[in-house]
């Protein structure tokens, strides 16, 4: 981490230090609500944008320059991990990720190639280096990965899903195979994030987007231990934020890990999160992304209420999940500016 970024509001908030106001950034902030992003989307397919460092860097910087957020997050995707393992992943328009040959048995797991991950994902590390050279050194750059459980969901289900019943069935019928796959994903993800940190990111976020489809007991079996292991491996090198969507039941457990921050969705109140974490973690969130379609007057009111509930200390303002396509840009600016003016 460079010294300038270390003095940023974002890093100070993660360290529990006093700040003048909470920092703000937005999950999926380099996304389809930005007109300039759509211009590139119409020219290049999704993974071309991810795998071309110059394009990934340009997209990463868009919300910094156009929205005024306090941190950048490298433009990439969580599914670069299965791609690097040899799984063919498509990103279909109006559908999302699609894997024609999902994991079904031990033979499929054995075929996964975890060699030369650093070389296979070098385009991400080059994008990180290029972005750090191009951006204001005072602005921190966040790297990220999906949690092992969330990656397993896509690798076994073969696509997105509301409940990932195919993935859950696989884990419950073949727990030994599930843990074998989770361990492999954990190892590769740890190496990937370590190299990302070495390339220049100032913090890391782990997205457990589908942790909420598991019961508390199953979460403690199939997700939490693997995220904890990644935290143990990389927390000495950088600050780690966990985003376990829908998993309020495990906030207390996460407060006992080496994580510095925890992302919250809009269903968990600031008061409950402070209580469950014992104020040992910096809280991040949790504005409902759909609320950015409200009137600007309503957005200002709700944002002020969120700031009041969370307070200024150990808090990073964000959404409760990724920003939605077609969100009005002016509404996003209203959200960010309200935090800057009232935090």
Residue 242, classed as helix, strand or coil, is: strand
Average pLDDT rounded to a whole number, residues 156-168: 96
Q: What per-residue confidence (pLDDT) applies to 182?
A: 98
Q: What is the mean pLDDT of residues 179-206?
A: 98
Q: Bridge-partner residues for 286, per DSSP?
A: 318
CA atoms within 13 A on the CB side of 58: 14
Average pLDDT over residues 163-170: 97
Whole-number pLDDT of residue 2: 61
What does the buried/exposed string (b/e) look like for 63-94 if buried means 16 or more CB atoms within 10 Å of the residue's CB? bbebbebbbbbbbbbbbbbbbbbebebeeeee
| Average confidence score pLDDT of the chain | 96
CA distances from 224 to 71, 142, 186, 314 (A): 27, 22, 11, 23
Q: Are 302 and 294 in contact (CB under 8 A)?
A: yes
Q: Give 222-264 pLDDT, tens digit per residue.
A: 999 999 999 999 999 999 999 999 999 999 999 999 999 999 9
Does this model's pTM top 0.85?
yes
- What is the distance between the alpha carbons of residues 140 and 302, in angstroms, rounded to a whole number? 27
Q: Residues near 230 by Cβ (< 8 Å), separated by ≥ 6?
A: 145, 148, 186, 189, 190, 193, 206, 240
pLDDT at 319: 98
Whether residue 301 is predicted with pLDDT greater than 90 in this model: the reply is yes
Q: Is residue 180 within a helix (H) or strand (E), and if so which, with residue range?
A: helix 175-199
Q: What is the pLDDT of residues 44-97, one digit of tens each?
A: 999 999 999 999 999 999 999 999 999 999 999 999 999 999 999 999 888 899
- pLDDT at position 327 is 97
Q: Identify the DSSP state of 289.
A: G
Q: Are strands 282-287 and 261-263 parallel, antiparallel or unpaired?
A: parallel
pLDDT single digits (tens) 111-150:
999 999 999 999 999 999 999 999 999 999 999 999 999 9
Confidence (pLDDT) at 1: 63
pLDDT at 93: 83
> What sign for the dihedral angle of Cα 216, 278, 28, 225?
negative
Q: Where are the beta strands (DSSP E) in the chain?
A: 72-73, 90-92, 96-98, 141-146, 203-208, 239-244, 261-263, 282-287, 315-319
The total domain count for the chain is 1
Cβ neighbours of 340 (radius 10 Å): 17
| Alpha carbons 218 and 216: distance in angstroms, whole number | 6
User: What residues contact 263, with CB distance under 8 A and at least 6 apart?
Assistant: 27, 205, 241, 242, 243, 244, 245, 284, 285, 286, 318
In the chain, % of residues over pLDDT 70 = 99
Full 3-state SS string of 123-137: HHHHHHHHHHHHCCC
Domain that holds residue 177: 3-342
pLDDT of residue 160: 94
Which CATH number goes with the domain that contains 174?
Answer: 3.20.20.210
């Amino acid at each position: 981490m460079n010294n300038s970024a270390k003095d940023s509001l974002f890093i100070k908030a993660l360290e529990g230090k006093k700040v003048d106001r909470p920092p703000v950034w937005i999950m999926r902030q380099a996304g389809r609500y930005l007109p300039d992003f759509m211009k590139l989307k119409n020219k290049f397919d999704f993974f071309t944008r991810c795998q071309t460092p110059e394009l990934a860097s340009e997209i990463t910087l868009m919300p910094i320059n156009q929205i005024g957020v306090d941190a950048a997050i490298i433009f990439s995707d969580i599914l670069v991990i299965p791609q690097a393992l040899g799984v063919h992943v498509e990103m279909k328009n109006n559908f999302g990720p699609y894997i024609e040959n999902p994991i079904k048995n031990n033979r499929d797991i054995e075929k996964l190639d975890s060699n030369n991950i650093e070389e296979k994902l070098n385009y991400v590390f080059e994008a990180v280096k290029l972005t750090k050279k191009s951006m204001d050194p005072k602005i921190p750059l966040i790297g990220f990965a999906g949690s092992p459980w969330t990656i397993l969901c896509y690798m076994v289900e073969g696509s997105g899903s509301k409940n990932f019943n195919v993935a859950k069935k696989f884990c419950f019928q073949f727990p030994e195979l599930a843990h074998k796959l989770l361990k492999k994903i954990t190892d590769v993800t740890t190496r990937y994030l370590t190299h990302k940190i070495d390339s220049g990111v100032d913090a890391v976020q782990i997205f457990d987007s589908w942790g909420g489809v598991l019961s508390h007991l199953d979460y403690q079996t199939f997700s939490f231990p693997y995220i904890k292991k990644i935290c143990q491996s990389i927390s000495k090198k950088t600050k780690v934020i966990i985003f376990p969507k829908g998993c309020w039941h495990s906030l207390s457990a996460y407060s006992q890990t080496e994580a510095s921050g925890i992302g919250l969705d809009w269903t968990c109140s600031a008061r409950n999160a402070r209580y469950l974490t014992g104020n040992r973690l910096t809280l991040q969130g949790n504005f409902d992304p759909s609320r950015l379609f409200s009137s600007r007057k309503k957005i200002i009111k709700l944002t002020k209420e969120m700031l009041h509930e969370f307070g200024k200390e150990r808090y990073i303002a964000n959404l409760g999940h990724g920003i939605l396509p077609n969100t009005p840009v002016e509404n996003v600016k209203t959200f960010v500016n309200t935090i800057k003016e009232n935090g």
